[in-house]
Chains A and B, each alone.
Chain A
Amino acid sequence: MIQIDRLTKRFDAVHGIFDVTLRVEPGTVFGFIGPNGAGKSTTIRHLMGLLHADVGQARVMGHDCWRESERVKASVGYLPGEINYPQDMTGEEIIRLTSRLHRTSQEREHRLRTIFPFDTSLKVRKMSKGMKQKLGIVTCFMKDAPVYVLDEPTSGLDPLMQERLIEWVLAEKAAGKAILMSSHHFPEMEKTCDRAALIRDGRIIIEADMDELKRRSVKVYQIKLTSEAEAQALAEKVGTRDGCIVTVPVSTSDELNALIATLTRFEVESLTSGADELEHMFMQYYGEATS
């Protein structure tokens, strides 16, 4: 459904995207992850026919995103990363205009307005970030498209709305839609994505199925012991010590079971897990990017 092959757009010697290749199949959600300025939005702009590639091509439903952008946009529901609708239009006017510009479903519109409620009589300039985001979600999904491109979809939403959006995306996935989702919100990626890629400095540096990524990822546990002597004793077996706290990285279930067995011989005060597995793995790459 979405095919990007060796897509290259060079803004200058350093900035741009280089050799980006990915596929999003029907009935799957593809997570697109990366630090700010890594090239996520540039890639998405090519899909929407906003940018012309120097090399390579982007196709949606078999149509070239630059030369056949009308056909591509007819098949794509798009949620931009920044909702910048005309400031003097009301939410209702934007929904009505969207329904005329796109082929939308009244039934979907009604459901979306119930699930993501907000005051549609307000002008965009008076809306909060969360309200604008809900407006963007309604206008994106009221179109029953086979492909969705979502740029930071949960940005500005409260936890309840985030959960509802995840449920909506999962339902769309179950209905056979192909969804490309860029996000920094790792829990939602873990819940929704089947496959993910990390882009850094314009290049995809890792791409794999989510299960594979989880297998590869390292979970970090922080174990607080009752005394520094206990902590020192544990640190000599596993991990590193900072006062009474020992940090232990675990990457397989065998290692986790071995750790639990070891801990039975110590006076443990508390045990907490660090960042989520996926988040931890990607944060390592983020860290490399920013350092």
Chain B
Amino acid sequence: MTLVHSLFKQNRSWIFGYAFGTSLYLFFLAAIFPSIKETGLIEGKLESLPPELLDVFKIDPSLAMDNVVNLLAGNYYGLIFYVLAILFALTFASRLMAKPVDSGEVMLYMAAPISRGAYVSASLIVLLLATVLFVVLNGLSLTLADVMFDLGIDYGLMWTLQLNAGLLLLVLGAIAFVIASLFDDSSRSYMVTGGLFALFLIANIFSGFSETFSWLERLSVFSLFDANAQLQGDVPTVSFLVLIGLLALSVVACYARFTRKDLSI
């Protein structure tokens, strides 16, 4: 517990930054939704945009903007969330693995009578706490907006989206952690992780352009969080199972790698 407490304390600024920053964004978007709905400007704007651009931002023009969650599917739970998730995962892996190992700061913990496995466990618990704070505060901010502005949010759908988002954050964080533990040089680990996640993103974007590229979707972890499909009634059971499987594999890889790694600190 001492280790988790210490690591969380050292990392709380970015953890709260992501959680409160995104929650405020969601709250304000939800708060202005009634006036957007009244003007009907969104539908008009969507009709005027090229379909490729809508694909990039994962906006389904067929969805009526009569519900705030539909609006959020295009303005948050698409490209914006994917980029945020990448930054979140990179920050986590950088602060708890790449930078401490590169600079030698991790020696504060490695000199103590704790195992490498305990350090990995504590880091993953911090990832879990950061993710829970992120998605729960996001959900609570929408709930508060609903209470204040009577938005008629479908809570079942909203919390399913939050759970899906949380699983994606955990998987990306764990993958970034494994990659960071492969290198002693933090800049190289940022480069490799950033490159891999950018490839996931590009594959996801291109998969929506035409049927020819639809197979690319299978290469991207981001295709496991499709808010539009859920809005149209899809139950993301398969996505959840695949994400849980990927998470389990990544966690095993985290332990396997870091407990055998030579540390030149």
With A80-B107, A84-B107 known as contacts, the answer to whether A45 contacts B113 (CB < 8 A) is: no
- Chain A residues 81 to 115 lying within 8 A of chain B, measured CB to CB, are 82, 84-89, 94, 97-98, 100-102
Please give the number of chain B residues whose Cβ is less than 8 angstroms from any Cβ of chain A in the complex.
23
CB neighbours (8 Å) of B238 from chain A are none
CB neighbours (8 Å) of A78 from chain B are 111
> With the chains together, A250 CA to B253 CA distance in Å?
62
CB neighbours (8 Å) of B3 from chain A are 101
What is the minimal beta-carbon distance from A102 to any residue of chain B, in angstroms? 6
What is the minimal beta-carbon distance from A64 to any residue of chain B, in angstroms? 14
Judge whether A199 is part of the interface by a CB distance below 8 angstroms: no
**Interface contact B110-A102, CB-CB below 8 Å:** no
Judge whether A52 is part of the interface by a CB distance below 8 angstroms: yes
Judge whether B160 is part of the interface by a CB distance below 8 angstroms: no
**Interface contact B6-A97, CB-CB below 8 Å:** yes
Interface size class of A (residues with CB under 8 A): 20 to 34
The interface stretch among B31-39, B60-68, B129-137, B256-264 is B256-264
Which residue on B lies nearest to A86, using beta carbons?
Answer: B105
**Interface contact B6-A52, CB-CB below 8 Å:** no
What is the minimal beta-carbon distance from A264 to any residue of chain B, in angstroms? 58
With A82-B104, A86-B108, A94-B108 known as contacts, the answer to whether A70 contacts B2 (CB < 8 A) is: no
Judge whether A263 is part of the interface by a CB distance below 8 angstroms: no
CB neighbours (8 Å) of B114 from chain A are 70, 73, 101
**Interface contact B262-A50, CB-CB below 8 Å:** yes
With A70-B114, A101-B2 known as contacts, the answer to whether A85 contacts B105 (CB < 8 A) is: yes
Judge whether A231 is part of the interface by a CB distance below 8 angstroms: no
By a beta-carbon cutoff of 8 Å, the part of chain A in contact with chain B is: 45, 48-52, 69-71, 73-74, 76, 78, 80, 82, 84-89, 94, 97-98, 100-102
By a beta-carbon cutoff of 8 Å, the part of chain B in contact with chain A is: 2-3, 6, 10, 100, 103-105, 107-116, 260, 262-265
